[in-house]
């Protein structure tokens, strides 16, 4: 039986795709490109990593592994053939591709919206499931009816970026079920979830069924997932792992700043400053003749916030205080909205 995708009320399969894709532009054209690859005889598809901490790279992923990942997600989020799921993420990266695969394996109807900062604004009917990046949720909440826009999705999955404290607090007033995901291109999207709002709200991620976790000697998370063909995938994420299998991320190994022998986790400084100022900012290392490396800070926002930022910096432990501080019109971001540490570091060096 041919795999079939339901898109905005139309049924598309390998036989009808050539007719459907004629004249398509934007996200529909991206979807057609992906479906041509998916419906091909090849057993793998091409994936692009996001490049948030380094140079983006290409990898090949098994279609069977992607189906297995999608089936598990559909089970968790109760996606079935009566469901409606929003696709408003670029098809270049794993999050968008996996949303298509979830619709293929579940029979859910895929509702297409061009990727933008407020993707639920133009929805005519509510959807059951909407994956968003945190930037989309934050920008939507800045709209006069932002809460109502988000509530057009029964369930929201936030991934692909850091959820700052102020955004998480605002999301407590949204009645949709909201989850944060943990995952990466190599794990074919999320392998763990945490509740962002509601009475089950938690800072701890719960692994999905079949996901096995351990810590390396450097306290970075190691992932095994037999159903995805993954064995002992070592990540760069420094984690705390509980006996019950739940975990939280403390930062990234490649964002540790060694300043005069003192190791500083960049994310710790970012969280403290963001919580105090609600500014978008990124902390990276800068060369220092005495210390080897020092803490550097790039930030965006109104210049009028500079005094508040410096007050927050002064409240930090002395060795956490940035020695290099630069205001920029726009922080470097990847195509999926993640802050790019590699590009930020290049602006400092």
pLDDT digits (tens, 9 = 90+) for 277-296: 999 999 999 998 888 899 99
282 and 205 share one domain: no
Here the CATH number for the domain that contains residue 325 is 3.30.300.30
- Look-up: residue for tokens 């709002």? 197
Domain ends where: 173, 194, 209? 209
Q: Output the average pLDDT for the chain.
A: 92
**For residue 89, which of 126, 34, 37, 144 has the smallest C-alpha distance?**
34
Please report the pLDDT score of residue 254 as a whole number: 84
Query: Are residues 105 and 186 both part of a single domain?
Result: yes
Predicted confidence band at 327 (pLDDT cuts at 50, 70, 90)? very high
**277 and 189 belong to one structural domain:** no
Residue 126 in contact with residue 152, Cβ under 8 Å? Answer: yes
Question: Using CA atoms, how far apart are residues 55 and 73, in angstroms rounded to an integer?
Answer: 29
Same domain, 13 and 157: yes
Query: Same domain, yes or no, for 177 and 49?
Result: yes
Tell me if 248 is assigned to some domain.
no
Question: DSSP states of 279-316 as a string?
Answer: -EEEEEEEEETTTEEEEEEEEES-GGGHHHHHHHHHTS
Question: Structure tokens of 53?
Answer: 């901490």
Least confidently predicted of 34-48, 89-103, 247-261: 247-261
Q: What mean pLDDT is predicted for residues 149-168?
A: 92
Q: Does 23 have pLDDT greater than 90?
A: yes
pLDDT reported for residue 251: 87
| pLDDT bucket at 163, cuts 50 / 70 / 90 | confident
Cα 261 vs. chain centroid, distance in angstroms? 32
Share of the chain above pLDDT 90, in %: 79
On whether residue 247 sits in a domain, the answer given is no
Residue 93 lies in a domain: yes
pLDDT level of residue 336 (50, 70, 90 thresholds): low
Residues 324 and 264 in one domain: yes
pLDDT of residue 165: 83
Structural domain containing residue 312? 260-348
Pair (204, 277) in one structural domain: no
Neighbour count for residue 75 (Cβ, 10 Å): 13
Last residue of a domain, one of 174, 190, 209: 209
DSSP 176: S
Q: What is the pLDDT of residue 50?
A: 66
The whole-angstrom separation of Cα 85 and Cα 126 is 9
Mean pLDDT lowest among 53-67, 73-87, 161-175, 180-194: 53-67
Q: Which residue, 171, 186, 209, sits at the end of a domain?
A: 209
Comparing 336 with 259, the larger pLDDT belongs to: 259
- For residue 205, the 8-state DSSP code is B
Residue 292 in domain = yes
Task: Count how many Cα atoms sit within 13 Å of the Cα of residue 243 in the half-sphere of its side chain.
Answer: 0
Percent of the chain with pLDDT over 70: 97
- The verdict on 133 and 30 lying in the same domain is yes
In a domain? residue 224: no
Q: Is the pLDDT of residue 326 over 60?
A: yes
What's phi and psi for 193, nearest 5 deg?
Answer: -135, 155
* Judgement on whether residues 277 and 154 belong to the same structural domain of the protein: no
Shared domain for 77 and 193, answered yes or no, is yes
Are the beta carbons of 147 and 141 closer than 8 angstroms?
yes
**Per-residue pLDDT tens over the stretch 215-268:** 999 999 999 999 999 999 999 999 999 999 999 998 888 888 999 888 899 999
Has residue 244 been placed in a domain?
Answer: no
Q: Which helix (H) or strand (E) holds 28?
A: helix 26-38
Question: What pLDDT does residue 348 have?
Answer: 82
Q: Do the domain assignments include residue 291?
A: yes
Q: Which of 252, 244, 194, 196 is nearest to 221 (CA)?
A: 252
Are both 199 and 291 inside the same structural domain? no
CATH code of the domain covering residue 198: 3.40.50.12780
How many structural domains does the chain have?
Answer: 2
Q: Which of 251, 250, 232 is nearest to 240 (CA)?
A: 250
Confidence category of residue 175, pLDDT binned at 50, 70, 90: very high
Residue 164 predicted with pLDDT over 90: no
Q: How far apart are CA 266 and CA 285, in angstroms?
A: 8
The closest of 94, 58, 32 to 228, measured between CA atoms, is: 94
- Same domain flag for 266 and 197: no
Quick check: is 17 in a domain? yes
């Amino acid at each position: 039986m041919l795999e079939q995708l339901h898109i905005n009320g139309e049924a598309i399969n390998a036989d009808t795709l050539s007719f459907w894709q004629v004249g398509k532009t934007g996200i529909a054209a991206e979807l057609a490109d992906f479906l041509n690859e998916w419906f091909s005889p090849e057993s793998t598809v091409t994936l692009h990593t996001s490049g948030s901490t380094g140079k983006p790279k290409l990898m090949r992923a098994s279609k069977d592994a992607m189906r297995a990942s999608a089936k598990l997600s559909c089970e968790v989020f109760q996606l079935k053939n009566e469901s409606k799921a929003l696709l408003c993420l670029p098809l270049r990266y794993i999050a968008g591709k996996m949303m298509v695969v979830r619709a293929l394996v579940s029979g859910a109807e895929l509702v297409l919206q061009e990727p933008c900062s407020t993707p639920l604004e133009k929805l005519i009917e509510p959807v059951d499931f909407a994956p968003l990046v945190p930037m989309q949720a934050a920008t939507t909440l800045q709209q006069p009816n932002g809460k109502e826009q988000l509530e057009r999705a029964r369930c929201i999955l936030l991934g692909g970026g850091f959820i700052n404290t102020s955004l998480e607090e605002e999301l407590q007033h949204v009645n949709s079920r909201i989850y944060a995901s943990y995952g990466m291109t190599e794990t074919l999207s999320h392998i763990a979830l945490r509740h962002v709002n509601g009475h089950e709200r938690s800072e701890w991620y719960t692994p999905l069924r079949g996901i096995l976790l351990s810590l390396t000697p450097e306290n970075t998370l190691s992932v095994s997932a037999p159903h995805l063909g993954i064995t002992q995938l070592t990540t760069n994420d420094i984690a705390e792992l509980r006996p019950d299998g739940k975990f939280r991320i403390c930062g990234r190994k490649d964002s540790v700043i060694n300043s005069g022998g003192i190791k500083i986790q960049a994310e710790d400084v970012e969280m403290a400053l963001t919580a105090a100022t609600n500014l978008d900012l990124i902390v990276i290392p800068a060369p220092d003749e005495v210390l080897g490396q020092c803490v550097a800070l790039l930030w965006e926002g109104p210049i009028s916030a500079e005094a508040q930022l410096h007050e927050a910096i002064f409240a930090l432990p002395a060795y956490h205080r940035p020695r290099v501080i630069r205001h920029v019109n726009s922080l470097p971001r990847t195509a999926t909205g993640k802050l790019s540490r590699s590009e930020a570091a290049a602006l400092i060096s």
